[in-house]
Amino acid sequence: MHNYDNILHEYIKTIDKKLDDYLQASDAPASIAEAMLYSIFPGGKRIRPVFMLAVAEMLGGKAACDAALPFACALEMIHTYSLIHDDLPAMDNDDMRRGRPANHVANGEAMAILAGDGLLNMAFEIMADYCATVNTSESVQAMSKVAKYSGISGMIGGQVMDIKLENATNVSETEVEYVYTNKTSKLFMAAFGSGALVGGAENSVNVMEDIGHKLGMAFQIKDDLLDISGTKVFGKPIGSDDKNNKSTYISVLGEPRAKEIYANLSSQALESIKTFKNSEFLAALAESLVNRTW
């Protein structure tokens, strides 16, 4: 879809330009600035910030999309910090990320830890500065949501349980669901929920977050399926989950059931998106994400 590609390209260009502005504006020592830039550029799919901008624009128009930009950049910085830390020897110990050496391999472990910390702090500085400028309850709620869903009641909590379940036997579906919901879905929920808040659509926050949850779960199951099928070309090495003895829907429930859950979540999320006006781009984006082969 020609128009879809153009819109996606424009969103990514806007996000990348703003990320660059934020990072260039700091007076940090060159070594840490370079280590932070190393993981932000060239980026990955930018799926979370694009979702946030698309949700805000669908619900609140162009002005809402502009207002969502600081939160979208903050979310991408938090996502990137999590990838840097996840690759460290103390965590998943992966040497490659996005097709090139992981941050700690390129910049050393100390600088990689600090680059992750630097991105996390900068994310909150950006959101706090924006909230102080516009002084609205919606913006403060949006920041709070990003904080909660990336913290111990979200991504960090999911990562903790993921580590605890490594090498465990008799892992239940509920335990894996907790990990997927928190480690992966919560950042998608932050994108959808904060996008709705900044889009001035408080009434739609819950339904948006439900869509984010389902898409995040489907995204993670797809990631697991790609990890075993050997078609993942851009990301962690193939078979990474197996190497780390991760519990996944595939290892706990079997591949056919994992595929069934994935298909149900994807179609429910898509159906729900399509109930909104002006949802063509968001629906196409969600569809391309769940159908990805990379």
- The contact set with ligand GRG (CB under 6 A) reads 44-45, 47, 82-83, 85-86, 98, 155-156, 159, 183-184, 220, 223, 235
Pick 85 or 213: Cβ nearer ligand GRG:
85
Report, in Å, the least distance between residue 162 CB and ligand GRG.
7
Q: Find all residues with CB under 8 Å of 237, minimum gap 6, and list them.
A: 94, 95, 96, 243
Side-chain half-sphere CA neighbours of 127 within 13 A: 27
Ranges of beta strands (E only) in the chain are 96-97, 100-101
CB-nearer residue toward ligand GRG: 98 or 259: 98
The minimum distance between CB 264 and ligand GRG, in angstroms, equals 19
- Nearest residue to ligand GRG, scored by beta-carbon proximity: 44
Nearer to ligand GRG, 56 or 112 (CB): 112
Distances (CA, A) of 61 to 14, 200, 207, 272: 16, 10, 19, 20
Min CB(156)–ligand GRG separation in Å: 5
CA distance 5 to 54: 13
Whole-number Å distance between alpha carbons of 106 and 97 = 11
Closest to ligand GRG by CB, 82 or 272: 82
What CA–CA distance (Å, rounded) separates 50 from 57? 10
Q: Of 127 and 155, which has the nearer Cβ to ligand GRG?
A: 155
Q: Which of 36, 173, 48, 166 is nearest to 106 (CA)?
A: 36
Q: How far is the CB of 34 from ligand GRG (least distance, A)?
A: 19
Nearest CA-CA partner of 248 in 219, 270, 220: 220
Residue 275 or 294 with smaller CB distance to ligand GRG:
294
Shortest distance, position 76 Cβ to ligand GRG, whole Å:
8
State phi, psi for 186 to the nearest 5 degrees: -60, -35
Nearer residue to ligand GRG within complex by CB, 139 or 248: 248
Instruction: Specify whether the CB–CB gap between 216 and 199 falls below 8 A.
Output: no
Closest distance of CB 81 from ligand GRG, Å: 8
Name the token pair of 217. 């779960």
User: What is d(CA 270, CA 286) in angstroms, rounded to the nearest whole number?
Assistant: 7
CB of 79 to ligand GRG, least distance (A): 6
CB distance 202 to 196 below 8 Å: yes
> Judged by CB, which is closer to ligand GRG: 144, or 244?
244
Integer-rounded Cα radius of gyration of the chain: 18
CB of 216 to ligand GRG, least distance (A): 8
